[in-house]
Amino acid sequence: MIVMTSSLAAAAGGLFAVTRFYLRGADLGKWDDSIPTTFETPEPSAEMQAVNKYLSQEFRASESLEAKRKRFDAGGHARDFGCEFRRDVAHFNGSAVPGEWTLVDGADPNKRVLYLHGGAFTVGSAVSHRPVTSNIARRTGCSVFAPDYRLMPENPRSASIEDTRTSYQWILENGPNGANKADKVAVAGDSAGGNLALALSNWLRDMGHRMPDVVIGISPATDGAATGPSVRENFETDIMLKPLVAPMLKVPHDILLWAMWRRLGMRPSAIEISPVHDRLHDLPPTLIHASTAEILYDDAKRYTNKAQAAGSPVKMQSWSHLCHVWHIFDDMLPEAHQALDEIAGFMREHGVAK
């Protein structure tokens, strides 16, 4: 009986250690120091209330994946953005990733932006994020390539990482008019795409490849283990992500970590999918945007604090009372244009934008 009890205790201890240190990763609480809010906005404005009403009506947990994908793309087809969208395929080292260039009149083919769309790695496309890519192209004069990286669940999580790397290495040598080396390159992305952008930056550093001249993370997911306090604290104010996160909060966190490990095929704290758990030294100039009201606010804050402590030139700008990735609501929110102007200014400061 004593031997059996000891064995059970040892097994329980081992399970606890695997969960807390292998799946969850290092405690990120040391990077919770507050960062002053950059832009205070009304609580919430009439425009933001209209967006929240739209999100409440459209972002439903019961909606099928196919319906979500169609709804996301519908926004990219519904408007005339005043620019050209040119389909292309990124080829590198035997891999091929389809996508599209966003081009405005007079766009510089040698100043390029790799834009990685959001959508929780399950929805979204180059088409769905035209409101963002068109605004970046217009404000910077750059040629913007948005890849249609492979989505879950029909593909493993690692596929999005592979496609991101392929697309980046391709645009270094290829522009909208064919093969030609890039003079300047930026990498940007929102939410899931922000995760891919920051993870790519770490990987390029470690591999000794050419780094982007700037990196932009819009409401980025940086911690796959979802340990930030804002996941719960901002649950009620983040209308967009609330339906996605609600089922997760009903499950004990340790059990959730095991479920995520099985679903992702990688431990939640692995640096490939949790860039905040990587070493954040020697990074390129990086701009992070987040709303203090969104679930992923602490993901952005922790990444910024850790990167700055490592000596990397990472800057965070935050807005109060806004939704997750408010930049995409350029036809509804004046703060979307303010944030996009800040991105263009950051790129211009570092020689990427015209």
Helices 192-207 and 157-173 pack at an angle, to 10 degrees, of: 60
Q: Coil, helix or strand for 294?
A: coil
Model pLDDT, residue 70: 95
Model pLDDT, residue 217: 98
- Residue 314: pLDDT over 90: yes
Is 46 in contact with 335 (CB distance < 8 Å)? no
Q: Coil, helix or strand for 164?
A: helix
- Residue 269: pLDDT over 60: yes
pLDDT tier for residue 320 given thresholds of 50, 70 and 90: very high
Average pLDDT over residues 42-52: 94
Report if pTM > 0.85: yes
Other CB atoms within a 10 A radius of the CB of residue 36 amount to 6
Q: What is the pLDDT of residues 220-259, one digit of tens each?
A: 999 999 999 999 999 999 999 999 999 999 999 999 999 9
Q: Percent of the chain scored above 90 by pLDDT? A: 89
What percent helix, strand, coil does the chain show, rounded to 5? 45, 20, 40
pLDDT tier for residue 19 given thresholds of 50, 70 and 90: confident
Report the C-alpha gap between 83 and 76 in whole angstroms: 12
- Residue 10: pLDDT over 70: no
pLDDT tier for residue 13 given thresholds of 50, 70 and 90: low
- Residue 16: pLDDT over 90: no
CA-CA-CA-CA torsion sign (187, 188, 191, 192): negative
Model pLDDT, residue 59: 87
CA 79 vs. chain centroid, Å, equals 24
Give 4 or 303, the one with higher predicted confidence.
303
Using alpha carbons, list the distances in angstroms from residue 296 to 42, 228, 238, 272: 20, 8, 9, 18
Model pLDDT, residue 11: 46
Kindly provide the residue ranges of all beta strands, DSSP E only, lying in the chain, ordered along the sequence: 84-92, 95-103, 108-116, 142-147, 174-175, 178-179, 184-190, 214-218, 286-291, 314-319
Q: How confident is the prediction for the chain on average, in pLDDT?
A: 94
Using alpha carbons, list the distances in angstroms from residue 331 to 11, 105, 132, 284: 56, 21, 11, 31
Q: What is the pLDDT of residues 73-125, one digit of tens each?
A: 999 999 999 999 999 999 999 999 999 999 999 999 999 999 999 999 999 99
Helices 130-140 and 65-77 pack at an angle, to 10 degrees, of: 30
Radius of gyration for the chain, computed over Cα atoms and rounded to the nearest angstrom = 20
Report the C-alpha gap between 233 and 45 in whole angstroms: 21
CA-CA-CA-CA torsion sign (130, 288, 184, 181): negative
Q: What is the pLDDT of residues 53-73, one digit of tens each?
A: 999 998 887 889 999 999 999
Report the C-alpha gap between 11 and 99 in whole angstroms: 48
